[in-house]
Amino acid sequence: MAFTAKDVAALRASSGAGMMDCKKALVACDGNMEKAAEWLREKGMASAAKKAGRIAAEGIVDSYIHMGGKVGVLLEVNCETDFVAKGDDFKAFVHDVALQIAAANPLYVKREEVPQEIIEKEREIALAQINNDPKMASKPDMVKTKIIDGKIETYYKENCLLDQAFVKDSSKTINQLTIEQTAKCGEKVTIRRFVRYNMGEGLEKRNENFAEEIAKATAKN
């Protein structure tokens, strides 16, 4: 069954889901509006979208220690009420996100946080790689631009938490996991901020062993 732009707009108005999600739902359901609305609800997209404008000022700060104390994460996730924040489902979600940060080492929560100068630098590097490749250097500028855009998208997927594939289920992203959690608890859920600690990060490693240290001290005397 075919569908039009008006059908997408109508589904968006009735469900509160995003335009692209509504289009996906109609494609998946062969243009059937009723089934598409049900598809959105099953995916948690409809109810989550309607809650996007709410204020989430409650929540918890969770910690996760990995690899025998080698990696640590502090994470703040917000919801709307203290009741939900104390629930086991919410705590399990936050713990999974903390585990994700420990395992996948994102640099930002979302792509909007990435400084523009970082993206521009990545574009410069990608263009230089293309121009230094004999097979790619002669490609039209339009093709090069598409390749660079693809590399930037990959950068987001690797470095932005919400764009990363969930380590426990690679079929969904952390953003999709958050949408599902919003639908499950009935409140807006927001991953606000995190800090990831890697033991010894930023410290210069000493290459000298104890015997060499003693030998140096003896020589001075």
Q: Is the pLDDT of residue 210 over 50?
A: no
Name the residue ranges covered by the structural domains of the chain: 5-50, 58-110+171-198, 115-157
Task: Name which CATH class applies to 58-110+171-198.
Answer: alpha beta
Tell me what the mean pLDDT of segment 84-96 comes to. Answer: 93
Give the pLDDT band of residue 45 (cuts 50, 70, 90): low
Q: Which of 11-20, 60-69, 74-83, 93-102 bottoms out in mean pLDDT, i.e. has the lowest?
A: 11-20
Percent of the chain with pLDDT over 70: 82
- SS3 string, the chain, reads CCCCHHHHHHHHHHHCCCHHHHHHHHHHCCCCHHHHHHHHHHHCHHHHHHCCCCCCCEEEEEEEEECCCCEEEEEEEEECCHHHHCCHHHHHHHHHHHHHHHHHCCCECCHHHCCHHHHHHHHHHHHHHHHCCCCCCCCCHHHHHHHHHHHHHHHHHHHEHHHCEECCEEEEEHHHHHHHHHHHHCCCCEEEEEEEEECCCCCCCCCCCHHHHHHHHHHHC
Task: Quote the pLDDT of residue 184.
Answer: 85
pTM of the model: 0.67
Task: Quote the pLDDT of residue 32.
Answer: 86
Give the pLDDT band of residue 183 (cuts 50, 70, 90): confident
pLDDT tens digits, 16-39: 677 788 888 889 898 888 888 888
Q: Is the pLDDT of residue 211 over 90?
A: no
Q: Is the pLDDT of residue 112 over 70?
A: yes
Q: Is the pLDDT of residue 214 over 50?
A: no
Quick one: tokens of 120? 């521009």
Give the CATH fold of the 5-50 domain.
Helicase, Ruva Protein; domain 3 (1.10.8)
Q: Is the pLDDT of residue 220 over 60?
A: no
Task: Quote the pLDDT of residue 204.
Answer: 62
Task: Quote the pLDDT of residue 46.
Answer: 56
Tell me what the mean pLDDT of segment 100-126 comes to. Answer: 95
CB 30 within 8 A of CB 24: no
Average pLDDT, the chain: 84
